[in-house]
Amino acid sequence: MYSQQDLNSAVAAGAISAEAADALRAHVAAQNDSVPADAEHFRLITGFNDVFVSIGVVILLIAMAAIGDAILASSNGPSPVAGALVAATAWLLAEFFTRKKRMALPSIILLLAFVGGVFLALVGLSTQIIGTDPSTAQETIGVLLVALAGLITATASWAHWKRFMVPITIAAGTAALAATVVALIVAAIGPNSDNVGDVVLAIVFVVGLAVFAFAMRWDMSDPARGTRRSDVAFWLHLLAAPMIAHPVFTLIGATDGSSFGPGAALAVLAVYVAFGLVALAVDRRALLVSALAYVLIALTLLFDRFGAVELSFALTALVIGSALLTLSAMWTPIRRAVVGAMPTTMTARLPATA
């Protein structure tokens, strides 16, 4: 099986012409009776060898973390040595499995291990500096050190992207920058402020919208979804979705079981429908997946209130499962109707509909 990235690489190397690559894409699309732009493809597994290698990679990284923890154990945070060893091992393994073998799933795991290792090493170093019983001033310094760790992690992600070009890297670096922004604002208002939780939720929501706009920039640069830019946008959408969904549903009260009533449940369903319209317009399903847990809670409560206590979970699963499968089967015609109702200036930059 050949990915879009493999075809683009073959064209760049002169192995096949651009016309031949386009003809192959059109032939495969015709065989599948689908349009690639509507299918939201991304490369994850090309064979069981990807799973086999991924298992070995995870085991080796766990071993390196254990060795690092044995070298320098930390009782008040992650071991900086463990994080550093995991990050270094992940980079070295990526030189073979990502740069030479171009294996998708191991590359994703190695990227996450590298970024996580760098961040945890820096956070572990920060906890060593702050100590076990920090004062209020030290807590602020600690939050600033977390912001610095996020900034350095974002820089490390950029270096990884320049070396290996793994699509999820941009999302990982963006997440690190988002953590930096949140930490800086928390440090400015004070970690122990009474309203710090509400402020963090508001910041996360605004940053989520910014990440969504960033994802759309990548998407609109490749409306045919035939290059690596589409894969980058996929992971950015996956990052933005929970950052947008969680603050919205928290504001409605979906995370507070004691005060969550039928009105809030109906509001959750209304917001989910709005998310669905956005997902159909941009042809990305991440928003629908991120908000799914809140809809399950809302429907279960509604069935409880209407007397179907014993069957509330079963009825909820039946409704949600049927709705998702119906939406999946009818995605293209429903999306065509949604996009058709939008202004032409907007639809020209969105992925094509079948």
What span, in angstroms and rounded, lies between the C-alpha atoms of 67 and 61?
10
- The larger pLDDT score, comparing residue 235 to residue 309, is at 235
- State the residue range of the domain holding 73: 48-160
> Does residue 307 form part of some domain?
no
Do 2 and 75 fall within a single domain? Answer: no
The answer to whether residues 125 and 23 belong to one domain is no
pLDDT tens per residue across span 98-134:
999 888 899 999 999 999 999 999 988 888 777 655 5
Nearest of 252, 286, 289 to residue 270 by alpha carbon: 252
**C-alpha to C-alpha distance for 320 and 293, rounded to whole angstroms:** 10
Per-residue pLDDT tens for 238-255? Answer: 999 989 988 988 888 776
What is the number of domains present in the chain?
A: 2
Q: Please state the rounded mean pLDDT for residues 135-152.
A: 82
Are residues 54 and 18 both part of a single domain? no
Alpha helices in 131-191 (DSSP H): 136-164, 168-189
Q: Say if residue 18 is in the same domain as residue 55.
A: no
Say whether both 8 and 63 belong to one domain.
no
Looking at the structure, do residues 76 and 145 belong to the same domain, yes or no?
yes
pLDDT of residue 202: 92
Could you tell me if 54 and 156 lie in one domain?
yes
Instruction: Clarify whether residues 26 and 57 are in a common domain.
Output: no
CA 318 from chain center: how many Å? Answer: 27
Q: Do both 26 and 119 map to the same domain? A: no
Look at residues 141, 160, 179 and tell me which one is the last residue of a structural domain. Answer: 160
Q: Is residue 73 part of a domain?
A: yes
Question: How far apart, in Å, are the Cα atoms of 191 and each of 141, 146, 183, 204, 289?
Answer: 10, 12, 9, 16, 32
Give the DSSP per-residue string, 253-313: TTT-GGG--HHHHHHHHHHHHHHHHHHHHHT--HHHHHTHHHHHHHHHHHHHHTT--TTHH
28 and 57: one domain? no
Helix, strand, or coil (residue 184): helix
Domain endpoint, select from 108, 135, 160: 160
Q: What is the pLDDT of residues 329-342, one digit of tens each?
A: 888 888 888 888 88
With tokens 């509400």, the residue in question is: 198
Domain boundary among 112, 144, 160: 160
Q: Is the pLDDT at 1 greater than 60, yes or no?
A: no
| DSSP reduced 3-state for 172 | helix
Instruction: Please tell me the pTM assigned to this model.
Output: 0.81
Q: Establish if 354 belongs to a structural domain.
A: no
Please state the rounded mean pLDDT for residues 304-317: 68
Asked if 99 and 164 touch (Cβ cutoff 8 Å), the reply is yes
